[in-house]
Structure 1
Amino acid sequence: MQISTDRSPAPVSEARLAEILADPGFGQHFTDHMLRVEWTPEKGWHQARIEPYGPISMDPATAVLHYAQEIFEGMKAYRHPDGSVWSFRPEANAQRMVRSSRRLALPVLEESDFVQAVDALVEVDARWVPTTEAGDERSLYLRPFMFASEPFLGVRPSRHVTFMVIASPAGSYFKGGVSPVRIWLTEEYTRAARGGMGAAKTGGNYASSLVAQQEAAEHGCDQVVFLDAQEGTYIEELGGMNLYFVHRDGRIVTPETGTILEGITRASIIELAKEMGHTVEERRFSIQEWKDGVASGEITEIFACGTAAVITPVGELVWDGGSAPSLPHGDVATKIRGRLVDVQFGRAEDTHGWMHRII
């Protein structure tokens, strides 16, 4: 892919950047540039360019605004102790975007072009990748996304598609840091159904979770857990995170994929857990099994994972009329999280070849 670069005439000052990177929050500040590539049936992917970050002009009839033909990815760039900059398993994000593209009838961006596009933006905005100390988990969050950009109101796949990458420095996803989150069980709303878009990373899945997330907040909870749409019995995932249940004998159970997102962090945790001697089961896991397991002591630890939060422990489960006892922040989640984060930040050897050097 040939990528042109138009550098910003007014980049953020070094003094202001230092203030931002000292306390970036999550998704609040954005780098000086963004990457954009266009697609049409006649030309394929073309006009790839890096340009100053800013608003995008959009016709009121643009298809994505009406039919939600859109997908995205979430990943991070990490600065290692020697100053180099790396991403974590970008080819896996590229492969998942291919799967999402096919489900949403969007054109496929090849894996090599996806990785090149993300790398190119990070290279231009490298000064935005935070320098970290031991125990610090600041990074540059990367958001590649693709949307239907044709101005047309007919219900069909768009004949003009735009792929973009933006970047935002990130601190901890949860304001309170790594501490057990309180989970609300929604029994009214579902996130995805068999044959639907649950396994695709598309904005509509997150939009459908927001009313339940509102419901969770009203009950003093941090996150919401969804059950399957068919029987209302089996756990799927949180609003944007995969779940794991640690048993007394060391087994770890995580809901099987199909209607849930196949997380890159999820897959990495499964591999690390097996290396640490845990048997990992990917299967249907009922809400009753959760309640009974916590009550009996069979389930000793629950945690959730995602790109933004990495791994966070799950404490109390709350539902209309009841709750399951809160579980402490356990050793299994702590150890797996430590191994994963140390590899990502270059503090431990990458024996899996997961890290991709950008700079």
Structure 2
Amino acid sequence: MDIKFVKRDVLKEKPDQKNLGFGKYMTDYMFEIDWIRGEGWVNPRIVPYGPIEMDPAAVVLHYAQETFEGLKAYRTKDGTIQLFRPEMNARRMQRSNERLCMPSLDEETFVEAIKALVNVEKDWVPSEEGTSLYIRPVVFANESALGVHMANEFKFVIMCCPVGAYYPEGINPIKILVEDELVRAVKGGTGFTKCGGNYAASILGQVKAEKMGCTQVLWLDGVERKYVEEVGTMNIMFKIDGEIYTAPIDGTVLPGVTRDSMLQILKEWGYKIHEEHVAIDDIMKAGHEGRLEEVFGTGTAAVISPVGELVYKDDSVTINDFKIGELTQKLYDELTGIQWGKLEDRFGWTQTI
């Protein structure tokens, strides 16, 4: 791919690595490429980060043809920069785009574009403990036309921002509300895709949770409102009687890259894994009986997030005395150890920039 580079006149001042937060500071540049029906992907370029001009009749604003991804670049102790399983993000975006009738970059071009941008922005990859460069690819329909149809023009953009912990609590346990009225996804819909509409539909539940003193929402299935599925920004796993339970990837749950990585590590460690539908009533019962040993969310942004309390209707259970579990901590150390180059990558997951 022949990528045009447009240089900024003045580079931005970089933020304090000890106070990055999440998603607050965008880097100097972004990658762009356009798709036009009959021509395909054209004009790849790295340009100064800034506003994108868009017609008010742009299809994405009216009919939400849009998908995105999230991955990170990590700086190792010797200064090397590496990505974590970017090919998985490429494949997931392809599946998302197929569902929403959108074009996709092929896997090789997707990864090449990310590497090219991160290479330009290598000075933005932080070195402080627990920090990384978050990478956000997004595709959206920018054709100017009203009327519901597959758009004829799309734009693919990659932006980056240095980040610290996603949740203010960091690796400390969070309190989660089990939502039993609102619905996030149903089979046949877009629950398995990473599209903005899924997240927009989850905001009301998030607002409700925050009013009740909870950090996040655990969604139940959209038909019976009985089986646990995923948290708003993470997949979720339960350790009950020494075994791991998590919702299956069958159309309503996002196929998380971190989820897949955690399951591979757990299987290597000899844990019995149940990828099956588990009723929230059974989870709460296990909690009251002391059999619910640990609960943790998994995702690129937070990596792993221990759950200290589940609130469901008029009931609640505290998990592991609201402390991070031994397995949760071990998984966090293992995965981040691979991501930051502290541990051997025996799975072949990392790619060096």
Give the TM-score, by structure 2 length.
0.97
1-side partners of 2:305 and 2:109: how far apart? 32
2-side partners of 1:349 and 1:266: how far apart? 19
Aligned 1:168-207 pairs, distance under 5 A: 168-207=161-200
- Answer whether contact 1:78 1:344 (CA < 8 A) is retained: yes
Match of 1:262 among 251, 255, 262: 255
Aligned 1:1-359 pairs, distance under 5 A: 1-12=1-12, 16-17=13-14, 19-132=15-128, 136-248=129-241, 250-258=242-250, 259-327=252-320, 328-358=323-353
The Cα of 1:176 is off from its aligned counterpart by 2.1
Secondary structure of 1:165's aligned partner: strand
The Cα of 1:319 is off from its aligned counterpart by 2.9
2-side partners of 1:342 and 1:294: how far apart? 31
- Answer whether contact 2:292 2:319 (CA < 8 A) is retained: no
**In structure 2, what residue type is equivalent to 1:91?**
E
Secondary structure of 2:337's aligned partner: helix
The Cα of 1:186 is off from its aligned counterpart by 1.2
Which ranges in structure 2 are unaligned for 5 or more consecutive residues?
none
**In structure 2, what residue type is equivalent to 1:101?**
N
The Cα of 1:85 is off from its aligned counterpart by 0.5
2-side partners of 1:339 and 1:301: how far apart? 17
1-side partners of 2:97 and 2:318: how far apart? 41
Secondary structure of 1:199's aligned partner: coil
1-side partners of 2:332 and 2:18: how far apart? 23
- Answer whether contact 2:295 2:319 (CA < 8 A) is retained: no
**In structure 1, what residue type is equivalent to 2:36?**
T
Deviations 1:69-118 (A, max 9, x none): 00000000000111111000000000001101101100121000100111
Secondary structure of 2:254's aligned partner: coil
**CA RMSD in angstroms, aligned pairs only:** 0.9
**In structure 1, what residue type is equivalent to 2:16?**
I
Identity of aligned residues (%): 43
Deviations 1:329-351 (A, max 9, x none): 11111111110000000001101
**In structure 2, what residue type is equivalent to 1:4?**
K
1-side partners of 2:214 and 2:221: how far apart? 20
- Answer whether contact 1:24 1:171 (CA < 8 A) is retained: yes
1-side partners of 2:316 and 2:222: how far apart? 22
The Cα of 1:20 is off from its aligned counterpart by 3.2
- Answer whether contact 1:253 1:280 (CA < 8 A) is retained: yes
Secondary structure of 1:137's aligned partner: coil
- Answer whether contact 1:244 1:252 (CA < 8 A) is retained: yes
The Cα of 1:246 is off from its aligned counterpart by 0.6
- Answer whether contact 2:73 2:84 (CA < 8 A) is retained: yes
Give the TM-score, by structure 1 length.
0.96
State the number of aligned residues.
350
2-side partners of 1:176 and 1:193: how far apart? 31
2-side partners of 1:126 and 1:76: how far apart? 12
2-side partners of 1:192 and 1:85: how far apart? 36
The Cα of 1:256 is off from its aligned counterpart by 0.7
- Answer whether contact 1:191 1:198 (CA < 8 A) is retained: yes
2-side partners of 1:341 and 1:325: how far apart? 26
1-side partners of 2:6 and 2:218: how far apart? 44
Deviations 1:196-243 (A, max 9, x none): 000000011110000000000000000001110111100110111001
The Cα of 1:22 is off from its aligned counterpart by 3.2
- Answer whether contact 1:20 1:29 (CA < 8 A) is retained: no
